[in-house]
Each structure stands twice: as C-alpha cells, then as structure tokens.
Amino acid sequence: MTLLTVEDLTIEFPRPGGRSGGTTRPVRGVTLTVEPGQTLGVVGETGCGKTLTGLAVLGLLPPAARARGSIRLDGRELLGAPPSQLRAVRGAEIAMVFQNPATAFDPVRPLRTQFERVIRRHRGGSREQAGARAAKLLAEVELHDTDRVLGSYPHQLSGGMLQRAMIALALSCEPRLIIADESTSALDVTVAQQVRRLLLRLQHAHGFGVLFVTHNLGEARDLCDRVAVLYAGEVVETGPVEEVFTAPAHPYTKALLAAVPTVDDDGAPLASLPGEVPADVLAVTGCVFANRCPQAEDLCRSTPPAAHTLPGGRSALCHFADPEVAA
C-alpha cells in the first residue's frame, strides 16, 4: 500500500487588497505519492511550493493558510484531522528533519532532555529507558561519544553532529515517513555527503519512506527513487529519478538541468532561464511556464496544459511533453 498520498493539494493564503479574489495560491493541485521504503524528491526553486507541501503533510501550515485536497498516510486522511490526532502522528509516524539543525533544537536545553521528551511523549517509559534509547540512536548515526553529546547544548556541537543528532531524534519513534527539508543545505560539502550516506544506510536498515525537499538537483539524483519537479506551485514533471534527469520531458526540467554549472563544464555559456515566475500566477490564462518557455506556442498562452501520462511511470504538465519520451 502506498505510504503517503498527496492528492490535488491546493494551499491558499488570504491576501488583503490583492487581486484574484484576494488570495494567493502558492500550491495548486499537487499530487504526489511516496511508497514504503522509497524516497521521493520534491525539487524546485524558491517559491515553488515545495516547503509548504512538506509542512502540509505534517499539519504544520501557518494558521492563515487554507488547504484543500487530500493527504493520506496509509489511507488515513490527515488533512483536516483534529490537532490531537495530528500530534499523535507527528514525531511517531511522520518525523521531520529541518534544514538548520542549530535552530531546530531548543538552544537552552541539553540534547538529553530533548531526546527524553520526544521518546517519552510517544513511547512512555522511564527517563532511564529513554536515555538508553537515545544513546542507542546516537550510536546508529555514528555519534559514538554518546554521553558527551547528550550532555551538550546545541551550540556545543558542530553542524554535522547536530544534523546527525536531529536524524537520530527523528528516528526515535521508528517513523514510517521522514520529511527532510533541505536537510544537508546548511552543511559543508564533505559533511553533507556523509549525512546523505547516513540517510541511505538508515533507510536501508529501517525501511522508512522519505519525502526529500531540495533545490539541489545533484542531491536529489543521489538520494531519490523518484522526483517531482515543482514550478510556481505545480508539479510539472514526475518520474523515476534517472529517467527524469537523463531525458527530461518538461521544458522547465530541461532548462533547470542545463543551468547547473558542473565540474566537467566545457566553458560554454550556461543555458540560463530568461525571465521570472509570473507575479500573479492566478492571472495567467495558459501554462504558467509559457512566458519563459523556449517551446511555447499560442496554445500554451491560451490553455493551461493537463498532466500528460508518459511511459515508464512518468508524467509531464505540458502540451508538448517531449515526444521522444512519449514514444
């Protein structure tokens, strides 16, 4: 059974005095699935809606946000579920690893207290039992000096150590889904690589599914089974990671991949994407990418595209989804 199903998720914020009925809609009709033990990458640039999508799954949207659609964990509806039910799910069944571990931990309490609270909240038991479990978890994320780490305040540990500890905390209740939002972006390159390796190893051992939110395409390629590429609040392409990266079907995915400078560069100017995301996507009549798309035709400017299903479990939100892929 599919672990997580996000179906036609739309998130709206009131915008006093704004156009389009006074609302913004930063996430529009997003559909995603995460299978048990698999990693789905949600990739895109600033403002594409990837972080909001992750927060919606956790029921952590800002109070002003209105979400509709469906978010199901093992078939159980989470969207609109009462707060008490969500609290039981968060931490126990779905855990989150944030971008910046230095701000995700409470700065005024030693790690031991923070581990004990989470473990006892969801699993009960004595402080001693919780402490023992915390030590075991830290060893699993390769922090072996467990007494020192548990006795430390967040500021006494390095970013890499803290992110490992955050992962250990996320694992403390054996969640079936981990939402990782830019979990290595604040780390140095060599440390980030160690954390990516650690995540893969732990996933192999524990079998949790991951919703991996990132702007880093290389990182998505290393960690994910499938990816969903978001642009201006919509999933524009989805499919198995290698296929999407080697033969992108949507013009935005193509442009994004071509814009990344690589170590093997030949020095030719990078293909940069001209223009910007429309300021008010709700005012756009056709495809929201049409104003930047090199392949846009009249149809694109007049009619919004539907998601085209392509072979190999792929789909693209484009009138002209690459025929080579479709063939």
Partner 1 sequence: MIPDTPHIPDTVDVSSASDVLRVQDLVVTYGRHRAVDGVGFRIAPGESYAVVGESGCGKTTLARTVLGLLRPVAGEVALEGVRLDRARGRDLRALRRRVQIVFQNPFAALDPRMTVARLVDEPLRLAQPDLTAAGRAEAVSALLASVGLADRFLGRRPHELSGGQCQRVAIARALAMDPVLLVLDEPTSALDVSVQAQVLNLLADLRQRQGLAYLLISHDLGVVRRLADRIGVMHAGRLVEEGPAQQVLHAPSADYTRALIAAVPGRGRAALVGGAEAGAGAPAPGGGARADRAAGPAPALASASSAATAPASEPSAPSSTGSSQ
Q: Which residues bind partner 1 (CB under 8 A)?
A: 45-46, 159, 188-194, 196-197, 200, 215-219, 221-223, 242, 245-248, 254-273, 276
Burial class of residue 13 (count of CB atoms within 10 Å of its CB; 0-12, 13-18, 19+)? middle
Token duo for residue 242? 């290698």
Q: Looking at beta carbons only, is 192 or 228 nearer to partner 1?
A: 192
Token duo for residue 258? 């071509």
Q: Looking at beta carbons only, is 43 or 61 nearer to partner 1?
A: 43
Q: Looking at beta carbons only, is 240 or 304 nearer to partner 1?
A: 240
Pairing mode, strands 226-231 and 234-240: antiparallel
Give the rounded distance of the alpha carbon of 192 from its chain centre: 16
Helices (H), 176-322: 189-206, 217-223, 241-246, 251-258, 298-302
Shortest CB 222 distance to partner 1, Å: 5
Q: Looking at beta carbons only, is 51 or 114 nearer to partner 1?
A: 51
Q: Looking at beta carbons only, is 79 or 256 nearer to partner 1?
A: 256
Shortest CB 288 distance to partner 1, Å: 15
Distance CA(250)–CA(286), nearest Å, equals 16
Shortest CB 80 distance to partner 1, Å: 33
Shortest CB 202 distance to partner 1, Å: 12
Helices (H), the chain: 50-58, 83-89, 101-104, 111-123, 127-140, 146-151, 159-171, 189-206, 217-223, 241-246, 251-258, 298-302, 323-326
Q: What residue type is 294 in one-letter code?
A: P
Distance CA(249)–CA(37), nearest Å, equals 26
Distance CA(218)–CA(95), nearest Å, equals 24
Q: Looking at beta carbons only, is 86 or 277 nearer to partner 1?
A: 277
Q: Is the dihedral of CA 242, 247, 248, 250 positive or negative?
A: negative
Shortest CB 118 distance to partner 1, Å: 29
Shortest CB 258 distance to partner 1, Å: 4
Shortest CB 259 distance to partner 1, Å: 4
Q: Which helix (H) or strand (E) holds 69?
A: strand 66-73
Shortest CB 270 distance to partner 1, Å: 4
Q: Looking at beta carbons only, is 265 or 298 nearer to partner 1?
A: 265
Token duo for residue 52? 């909001």
Q: Looking at beta carbons only, is 153 or 245 nearer to partner 1?
A: 245
